[in-house]
Amino acid sequence: MSGPILVTGATGNVGGAVVARLLARGVACRIGVRDPATVAPTPGVTPVALDFRRPDTFAAAVDGAGGLFLVRPPAIADVRSTLCPLVDAAAAARVPHVVFLSVVGADRNRLVPHHAVERHLARGHVPWTILRPGFFAQNLGDAYRLDLRERDELFVPAGRGRVAWIDTRDLGELAADVLLTPAEHRGRGYGLTGREACSFAEVAELLTRALGRPIHYTPASALGYARRLRARGLPLGQVLVLTILHLGLRRGHAEAVDPTLAALLGRPPRTIADYIADHAALWRP
């Protein structure tokens, strides 16, 4: 490794976990942000200007980087004018390896923006590894947090669907380790899940025990779920994506358990119960 690892999405769950793992292993990081002046100083971390909608920021950000962790921001749908040119800039700068955070099934599904990035990496000239995780445990602390805190309720249109929840801390650890030992992962794409599948009703029971108050799972209708999201001010496009995603859970799209994460980590992945126990304060009033 010839320089600091450049991490995009460092303020998010996965990117933040990548930075934490790299620092724990004594590796310096760059974090790509729109305005470096807004980032509080952290030992081992250098903020650099990187705006996906400003290709003129790419060359300086990747210059001398020892690797790149690449995340697609949810607000960016056009990856061909944003993420793909960043990959090209990394190749031109001879960045030794790119780890791209994709999504499960993106290698086959042309409708998700990640598919185009995966194809671009495969056709390009920079070594790469693709991570395709399933459903995040951290959704409980993000997308579902308000309902849990204010209504004691899990309200999603997932029916009786089961989910092999993956903890982004495990995902960040794996991504960092791949960047530090890339040779064995070059050109590989990994489907990643947690080690067990739980229904939303079972998750509500885990939350009830952890919080000491009843948490209920309401299997919402698609329309009812979309209306609640719109009432919170979410854009229509995001509402549609989230609704379709959760409807897929009804059909078992996230229930299969894949042993790959455990094999790569060399230990059992964290469970959804582990996540809840570690973050109980998130859902207390």
Q: What is the dihedral of CA 79, 82, 88, 90, to 10 degrees?
A: -120
User: Considering the entire predicted model, what is its pTM?
Assistant: 0.94
Q: What's the CA gap between 18 and 5, in Å, rounded? A: 10
- Per-residue pLDDT, averaged over 51-55, amounts to 97
Query: Could you tell me whether strands 162-163 and 198-199 are parallel, antiparallel, or unpaired per DSSP bridges?
Result: antiparallel
| Whether the predicted pLDDT of 1 surpasses 60 | no
Q: Which two tokens stand for residue 52?
A: 């996906």
Q: What count of residues does the chain have?
A: 285
| Whether the predicted pLDDT of 201 surpasses 60 | yes
- Per-residue pLDDT, averaged over 88-110, amounts to 95
Please choose, from the candidates 46, 99, 93, the residue with its C-alpha nearest in 3D space to the C-alpha of residue 65.
93
**Residue written as tokens 């995780």?**
133
CB atoms within 10 A of CB 84: 18
* Contacts of residue 56, Cβ cutoff 8 Å, sequence gap at least 6: none
Q: Please name the amino acid found at residue 63.
A: D
Range with the lowest mean pLDDT among 75-79, 144-148, 193-197, 198-202?
A: 75-79
Question: What mean pLDDT, rounded, does the chain reach?
Answer: 95
Q: Which residues pair with 45 in a beta bridge?
A: 29, 42
